[in-house]
A and B are shown apart, each in its own frame.
Chain A
């Protein structure tokens, strides 16, 4: 059995940030492995360690800049990585779910994994949709927002729990091949070991262009267009307690006592 994990670089904006046209100014972004993908990766690596899976491959759609993050993923136990990029992608301000689906579907068709693990959402755009959309494109089964997983390779079934709202979980079984979108908390992701980091340098990181994947630029054109990025108008009506930490704490203490707290 083989697993393909989709991983993206998540970006968080700093407390103070600048919007530069249709992008956030690079200087105010911190990038790291997307939180949800970290859990998806850990899920795959644990399946490999339990000998349920032979190979863990990752795929990332992104420019060369994200190779640092990809090496991190290899250091945490993926066997090899694929990075998909192309000049044609460089030119668009955003890739919508449809475009990412077309790219990832082409990779699934060549890799033929039994299981594809994605994150529930990317931390930046958070469409919460790529995994399920991909499943439909490659005609796999699927389950979204999975917080527990058991794979039965003989019966070719994934038994999962889907985390619904309000503390309710749904037990579902999905036939393989399948795409599962993984929720945080399903496990405790590891840190890369020094040995892992050394080994990662020697692992394969293949770069694929549209032509390599047999795709035309038109097939991966985003149908959503970004018109504007803006800092939302603050709707805050909060009373800000100013001054030094001690002064603010003293004021808060007064407010809390007025509310009957701590008496």
Chain B
């Protein structure tokens, strides 16, 4: 029997969706071992959050009230403290930007092995079997790790269903000593990245361009297509990183979430952080030379061909 401790994620007064998925992942593992599912809420409006995460299958909730927002020193300290007192053998967190800002430190402090960005988790006796994606989603890796000492795991968003139902968990407020020396960083505030001229989230049709375009001057081709279709141009991250398009055109986890009627992905592989921003589009078209590119998994229409041949031909169709 092993218990599971899941630390939920929140920002600016709201729990992140993946937190509820975390509860499902945690419950599945606890069921497999016959253990309990403990949930930790660290910082924020802890009482309200405790209420929200009290879903079916949660056995006990622990709250730590040491600030409003995420602070990795507090999270790391709280996670280590809770692991030492509750003695779970599996520690779960979302693979969010904040999750990866403290869970690796917790694993190191506890001397536990770490599995990040898991898309599947199974228990086989005393072995945790985790599935991850390597090479940008083109290869699936199955990893094994012994549960003996304990394992820290972050899970990918969108892979488990969100937990539902009313729970009847106990709620306990936990205080612990945060070592003075552990406090080496200070969060000063948040800023939203500037909006700019175009809001890609408003567009009905997006022509989205990725690294496959190769060169800044080739963007003209994409702009021509967008014009012919009456569409707006958006992009994957590398195009924005290179400075070829402004940040407000970026689709994805760290860019915008878009839900247009039609999303045409041109020379975009479909990395998980990109897909996070466009999987809600009604119709997805992928133009990519690689038939195995992960974008194909969510595309409704696909052309496995060179964009430099297809795009000019498509422009011609609309002229």
Q: A residues engaging B (CB < 8 A)? A: 11-13, 15-17, 19, 24, 96-98, 101, 123-137, 139-145, 161-175, 178, 184-185, 188, 223-232, 234-241, 245-246, 248-250, 252-253, 255-256, 259-262
Contact = CB atoms under 8 A, between A and B. Distances in A.
A262 B318 CA distance: 7
A213 B187 CA distance: 35
A128 to B, nearest CB: 5
A214 B279 CA distance: 49
B193 A168 contact: yes
A250 B317 contact: yes
Contact of B299 (A178, A238, A249, A256): A238
A101 B318 CA distance: 55
Given A165-B253, A238-B302, A253-B317, A173 B140 contact: no
Given A168-B191, A184-B237, A224 B102 contact: no
Given A133-B104, A168-B193, A229-B141, 19 more contacts: A16-B292, A97-B107, A123-B135, A125-B141, A126-B134, A129-B114, A129-B116, A132-B100, A136-B109, A142-B184, A144-B100, A171-B190, A174-B185, A227-B129, A234-B296, A238-B286, A238-B299, A245-B313, A259-B262
Contacts, number: 264
Which 9 pairs show the lowest CB-CB distances between chains A and B? A141-B184, A249-B313, A253-B317, A245-B309, A185-B241, A136-B105, A223-B113, A136-B108, A133-B104
Main secondary structure of the interface of A (DSSP, over half): mixed
A34 to B, nearest CB: 12
Contact of B187 (A171, A178, A223): A171
A92 B262 CA distance: 46
Contact of B140 (A101, A178, A231): A231
A234 B185 CA distance: 44
Please report whether the interface of chain B is mostly helix, strand, loop or mixed according to DSSP: mixed
6 contacts: A15-B289, A132-B101, A167-B193, A228-B142, A245-B313, A248-B305
A132 B317 contact: no
A172 B241 contact: no
Given A96-B114, A227-B143, A132 B299 contact: no
B261 A133 contact: no
B231 interface: yes
A227 B142 CA distance: 5
A262 B242 CA distance: 30
Contacts of B230: 261-262
A238 B300 contact: yes
A121 B184 CA distance: 23
B184 A174 contact: yes
A132 B93 CA distance: 15
Given A136-B108, A262-B318, A141 B185 contact: yes
Interface in B106-124: 106-109, 111, 113-117
B184 to A, nearest CB: 3
Nearest to A250: B317
A200 to B, nearest CB: 24
A229 B134 contact: yes
Interface residues of B, number: 95
A236 B302 contact: yes
Nearest to B139: A229
B241 A261 contact: no
Contact of B101 (A13, A127, A145): A145
A36 B48 CA distance: 38
Contacts of A253: 314, 317-318
A96 B143 CA distance: 10
Contact of A252 (B102, B291, B303, B309): B303
A13 B140 CA distance: 12
A98 B113 contact: yes
B244 to A, nearest CB: 11
Nearest to A35: B238
Contacts of B89: none
B139 A231 contact: yes
Interface in B269-283: 283
B301 A24 contact: no
Most chain A beta-carbon contacts within 10 A, residue among B11, B95, B238, B301: B301
A171 B144 CA distance: 37
Contact of B229 (A126, A144, A188, A261): A261
Given A168-B193, A245-B309, A98 B108 contact: yes
